[in-house]
Structure 1
Amino acid sequence: MKLRSLTPLLVVLMAPIVGCTKDDNKNTSTSDGSGGGAWAVGEDATMVRLNPAGDVWYYPLEIEGDLLAIACKGQETGMAVGEDGVVLRTDDSGESWTQIDVGTRARLRSVIFSGTTPAYIAGDGIVLRSDDDGRSFTPVPDAEGDFTAVTTTAKGTLAWLTTASGQIWQLDGETLTPVFTTSEGPLSGIAATPDGGSVVAVGAGGLVLRSDDGGAKWASVTTPTSRDLHAVRISRTADLVVAVGAAGVVLRLDDELGASAEELLEPGLALRALHLSIDGHGHAVGDHGVVVHSNDAGLAWEALDLGLEEALFGLDDLHGEAHL
């Protein structure tokens, strides 16, 4: 795995309003749906977007506090969540953002769309479910715990969540059930295949937990790293898992190439979020505005200098194709 510095990207500063202009070509995916761009959120309401051509836009949002996660659906819809119960939604590829009142001031840490109408938000002591594609949300009963991440299937009928106390919960409709508990520390990331057949969660000390029967049984996976892992992706065929974490570690569990781990950053820094498209394009982001890019599903990485100092916590891409 190689990390190479790039010439700084062209920076295009936006006017001090929420959103963009229609004349700007900010599509983060090419017309055939392939990846190459990214949309990240982070500290002090930071929002930054880059397209495959290397152009960068900063969004001066009129809110305060950290944005902790972002999720996109198709090429027009996106949703960002964060501190103080903030939920922002766009349906015009970021030209404008609307703040949705979801009835909570909790710290919201994770958001995800399904391929149909359900969508989910998870945070400290709260889980929110939407049945209208994220336009409105209702709280899920008996959501006990500080939820750190949520994932769902393509149909959105099932969801799985991780907690800071090391639990994995399954959500089926409005029924939230704990399905696994580890004593090895907090869990911070989770991902599922589109059919929900395989689910993987990551956490402290290089912990990887995996289920290949739809979340019924879980097993710990031996990995070549002891670094804390913060985010994870699994391929639709379940033959590749990629996770990122402390010291910029990139962990790959590849059925063909085996397990590998390489650290891209200094020990005091971390990669906090990861996005990989089905074609292998993707990014990881983290502390002090770190952004790295891969064209081969995380085998090699390039550093992108966006001139940011704020930590980036959430990442996604406006895309026409599925994730990795």
Structure 2
Amino acid sequence: MKTLIKLFNILILSILLATHTGWAQWSATNSGVANTLWDVYFTDNNTGYAVGGYGTFLKTTDAGANWERLSPSFNHQVFSIEFKDESTGIAAGEYQYMTRTNNGGDSWYNVGNPATGWLFDITFVDEDLAYSVGYGGLILQSTNGGGSWSEVSSGVTDELRKVYFRNTTNGYIVGDNGVILKSTNSGDTWTSKTSGTSQKLRSITFFNDFGGLAVGDSGTVLSTQDAGESWITIDIGTSELLMDIVFSNSTDGYIVGDHGLLLKTTDAGSTWGTIHSGTDLLINSIHFPSADTGYMVGAEGTVIHTFNGGGTVGSQEVKVNNELIIYPNPANNILHLDYDNSSIIDFEILDISGRLIKSGYRKAAALNIGGLSPGLYIIKAQINSQIFTDKFMKK
């Protein structure tokens, strides 16, 4: 009987290995720093910039293979960077800090602005028009390519985290306490929209003229199908902190967040699947300079890239509530089992020979696997009357 069980487990493992196509699509590169990286932006597939803690400014000219450290005169958090062309870019951060380059990052000069607190995001709408948002409902507008800035009324006092324009006319801002603002006149005025949540919203994007998504704390995902006039909450099966969302084309989108979470959709957000990100750490930002080339940055100087469109979604679809979600994979010390917080999960961890290594039961939560030796394992979980079998790699 034991022999049959072992053969069954080996068969299951072989099938899983053959069908798991989400692995090895993203690769880490050495950034040369250990500070948190908050944002990444590429002007083309080869030339990019990353910013982060303690005034960290990085630049690559070889598609992320090597990074050099730039030297603007700032020693605090830098939260956002964006370029309007290959030469002109602006970065923003703590203490109303804003700095500008006109020569591809070779030199930087500080830009005065009326902010009194932190600036969390910055974006160019066109050659001349740019916006930055931040502390206390602050919206800054520049009409000369970031050379000078003036304040625009937001009508709110909450921290504003992200500003996004889907074209030169229609813009959106999200922030704390579920704030969503919309402009239909290139950002001159903004109106508040009902989000239906009090969660902190951290990022927003659109995949066509009407369909958009916003993400934030505690796994919050909001969807609109009427150009941002109304929003509904959708459940994609995670309670993780979600930091950023982007679309590389009209159908393929990505969400990144805590514990190395990387989700992908290939149907404009109708369903989401897990992709192996290559890290257990917080991912703060994701950027695609083209449909196939993407970059992510996060905690401890993490930089991860893909050159094949981010890979194929694995077998774990996370929109449906009756699926067991296992992540990150590979994992260091913590393996997350997400299902339904009210459900008890009976689990077994087996090695590749079918030998029982660990078993127990708990509500959907984080499972400590720190005592396991590095290698490939099978996890079997019974939830109510359903049995799930998957595999994971222990680093």
TM range (shorter): 0.7 to 0.9
Which amino acid in structure 1 is aligned with residue 306 of structure 2? S
State which of 146, 161, 174 in structure 2 corresponds to 1:162: 174
CA change 1:184–1:296 in 2 (3 A) is farther
Structure 2 CA distance for aligned equivalents of residues 90 and 42 of structure 1: 17
Consecutive unaligned residues in structure 1, runs of 5 or more: 12-27, 302-324
State which of 223, 226, 239 in structure 1 corresponds to 2:239: 226
Q: Tell which structure's C-alpha radius of gyration is larger.
A: 2
1:1-324 matches, within 5 Å, as 1-3=22-24, 33=44, 35-52=45-62, 54-125=65-136, 126-141=138-153, 142-155=155-168, 157-171=169-183, 172=185, 173-183=187-197, 185-193=199-207, 196-237=209-250, 239-255=251-267, 258-262=271-275, 264=277, 269-299=281-311
Q: Is the 8 A contact 1:169 1:180 kept in 2?
A: no
Q: Deviations over 1:126-154 (max 9, x none)?
A: 11112222222111123421101111133
Greater RCO between the two (CA within 8 Å, min separation 6)?
1
Structure 1 CA distance for aligned equivalents of residues 252 and 167 of structure 2: 18
Q: Deviations over 1:89-116 (max 9, x none)?
A: 1121112112110122310000111134
- Equivalent residue number for residue 319 of structure 1: none
Structure 2 CA distance for aligned equivalents of residues 300 and 88 of structure 1: 38
Q: Deviations over 1:50-71 (max 9, x none)?
A: 2235232101221121101111
CA change 1:253–1:9 in 2 (3 A) is closer
Whichever structure has more helix as a proportion of its residues is: 2
Structure 1 CA distance for aligned equivalents of residues 28 and 227 of structure 2: 44
Q: Is the 8 A contact 2:31 2:302 kept in 1?
A: no
Structure 1 CA distance for aligned equivalents of residues 31 and 91 of structure 2: 25
- Post-superposition shift, 1:163? 0.9
The share of aligned pairs that are identical, in percent, is 23
Provide the secondary structure at the position in 2 that maps to 1:279.
Answer: coil
Structure 1 CA distance for aligned equivalents of residues 240 and 311 of structure 2: 18
Provide the secondary structure at the position in 1 that maps to 2:259.
Answer: coil
Consecutive unaligned residues in structure 2, runs of 5 or more: 1-21, 33-41, 314-395
Structure 1 CA distance for aligned equivalents of residues 27 and 231 of structure 2: 41
Which amino acid in structure 1 is aligned with residue 52 of structure 2? G
TM-score normalised by length of structure 1: 0.77
CA change 1:266–1:242 in 2 (3 A) is closer
Which amino acid in structure 2 is aligned with residue 182 of structure 1? G
Q: CA RMSD in A?
A: 2.8
CA change 1:198–1:129 in 2 (3 A) is farther
Q: Is the 8 A contact 1:281 1:297 kept in 2?
A: yes
CA change 1:74–1:197 in 2 (3 A) is farther
CA change 1:2–1:117 in 2 (3 A) is same
Which amino acid in structure 1 is aligned with residue 165 of structure 2? T
Q: Is the 8 A contact 1:106 1:123 kept in 2?
A: yes
- Post-superposition shift, 1:221? 3.0
Which amino acid in structure 2 is aligned with residue 148 of structure 1? R
